[in-house]
Amino acid sequence: MIKKIFIQFLILLCASSLFAGTVGKISGFITDEESGESLAGVNVFIEGTRLGASTDLEGEYFIINIPPGSYSVTASIVGYQTITVTGVRVNPDRTTKVGFNLKTEVMTGETIIIVAERPLIRRDATFTETVTSADEIENMPVTTVTEVMSKNAGFIVQGYTTDPDGNTDGSESIHVRGGRSNEIVYMIDGFYVKDPHSGGLGADVPSEGIQDLSIITGTFNAEYGEAMSGVVNIITKEGSPEYHASLRASTDQFGFSDYDNGTIRSDLSLSGPIPFLKNIANFYISADYLDTDTYLRKSESKAHDAQGNPIIRKHDFLTYEARERYTGKLVYKPLNNVKTIFGFNRFDEEQRLYNDLFKEIPDHVGIDYESSDLYNFTLSHTLSSRRFIMLR
Does a structural domain hold residue 192? Answer: yes
User: What percentage of the chain exceeds 90 in pLDDT?
Assistant: 11
Instruction: Note whether 109 and 138 are same-domain residues.
Output: no
Instruction: Note whether 91 and 200 are same-domain residues.
Output: no
**CA-CA distance, 226 to 203, in Å (whole number)?**
18
pLDDT of residue 172: 67
Does a structural domain hold residue 388? Answer: no
Number of domains in the chain: 2
**CA-CA distance, 296 to 308, in Å (whole number)?**
26
Please indicate whether residue 391 or residue 79 has the higher confidence score (pLDDT): 79
CATH number (domain holding residue 96): 2.60.40.1120
Instruction: Note whether 21 and 71 are same-domain residues.
Output: yes
**CA-CA distance, 136 to 211, in Å (whole number)?**
10
Does a structural domain hold residue 123? Answer: no
Question: Among residues 115, 147, 171, which one ends one of the domains?
Answer: 115
**CA-CA distance, 271 to 330, in Å (whole number)?**
10
Question: Among residues 115, 148, 182, which one ends one of the domains?
Answer: 115
pLDDT of residue 380: 52
Instruction: Note whether 40 and 157 are same-domain residues.
Output: no
The whole domain housing 350 covers 128-383
**CA-CA distance, 267 to 178, in Å (whole number)?**
34
Core vs surface per residue 273-302: b (16+ CB within 10 A) or e: beeeeeebbbbbbbbbbbbbbbebbebeee
Please indicate whether residue 344 or residue 388 has the higher confidence score (pLDDT): 344
Q: What is the CA radius of gyration of the chain?
A: 26
**Average pLDDT in the chain:** 76
Instruction: Note whether 194 and 222 are same-domain residues.
Output: yes
**Which ranges constitute the DSSP H helices of the chain?**
2-13, 134-138, 145-150
| Structure confidence by residue, pLDDT tens digits, 224-276 | 767 777 888 888 888 888 899 999 888 888 877 777 888 899 999 999 998 88
Question: Among residues 53, 83, 115, which one ends one of the domains?
Answer: 115
Instruction: Note whether 301 and 192 are same-domain residues.
Output: yes
**CA-CA distance, 205 to 188, in Å (whole number)?**
9
Please indicate whether residue 288 or residue 119 has the higher confidence score (pLDDT): 288
With residues binned 3-state (H G I as helix, E B as strand, rest as coil), the percentages for the chain, rounded to 5, are: 10, 50, 40
Does a structural domain hold residue 392? Answer: no
Instruction: Note whether 91 and 154 are same-domain residues.
Output: no
CATH number (domain holding residue 272): 2.40.170.20
pLDDT of residue 360: 60
Does a structural domain hold residue 61? Answer: yes
Does a structural domain hold residue 74? Answer: yes
Residue 140: which residues within 8 A CB-CB, separation 6 or more? 147, 148, 151
pLDDT of residue 60: 93
Torsion of CA 16, 18, 21, 25, to 10 degrees: 60
| Structure confidence by residue, pLDDT tens digits, 70-106 | 899 999 888 888 889 998 988 887 888 999 998 887 6
- Tell me the pLDDT band of 155, cut-offs 50, 70 and 90: confident
Residue 356: which residues within 8 A CB-CB, separation 6 or more? none
The answer to whether residue 177 scores a pLDDT higher than 80 is no
Does a structural domain hold residue 120? Answer: no
Instruction: Note whether 258 and 188 are same-domain residues.
Output: yes
Tell me the β-bridge partners of 101: 31
Instruction: Note whether 54 and 168 are same-domain residues.
Output: no
**Burial (CB count <10 Å: 0-12, 13-18, 19+), residue 371:** exposed
Model-wide pTM > 0.85: no
Stretch 8-27: mean pLDDT, rounded?
Answer: 59
Does a structural domain hold residue 194? Answer: yes
| Structure confidence by residue, pLDDT tens digits, 275-307 | 888 778 899 999 999 998 887 777 777 777 778
**CA-CA distance, 6 to 15, in Å (whole number)?**
14
Instruction: Note whether 103 and 142 are same-domain residues.
Output: no
The answer to whether residue 319 scores a pLDDT higher than 90 is no
pLDDT of residue 217: 79
pLDDT of residue 29: 93
Instruction: Note whether 62 and 179 are same-domain residues.
Output: no
- Tell me the pLDDT band of 194, cut-offs 50, 70 and 90: confident
Identity of the amino acid at 95: T
Residue 43: which residues within 8 A CB-CB, separation 6 or more? 52, 54, 75, 76, 77
pLDDT of residue 287: 92
Instruction: Note whether 94 and 152 are same-domain residues.
Output: no
Please indicate whether residue 359 or residue 13 has the higher confidence score (pLDDT): 359
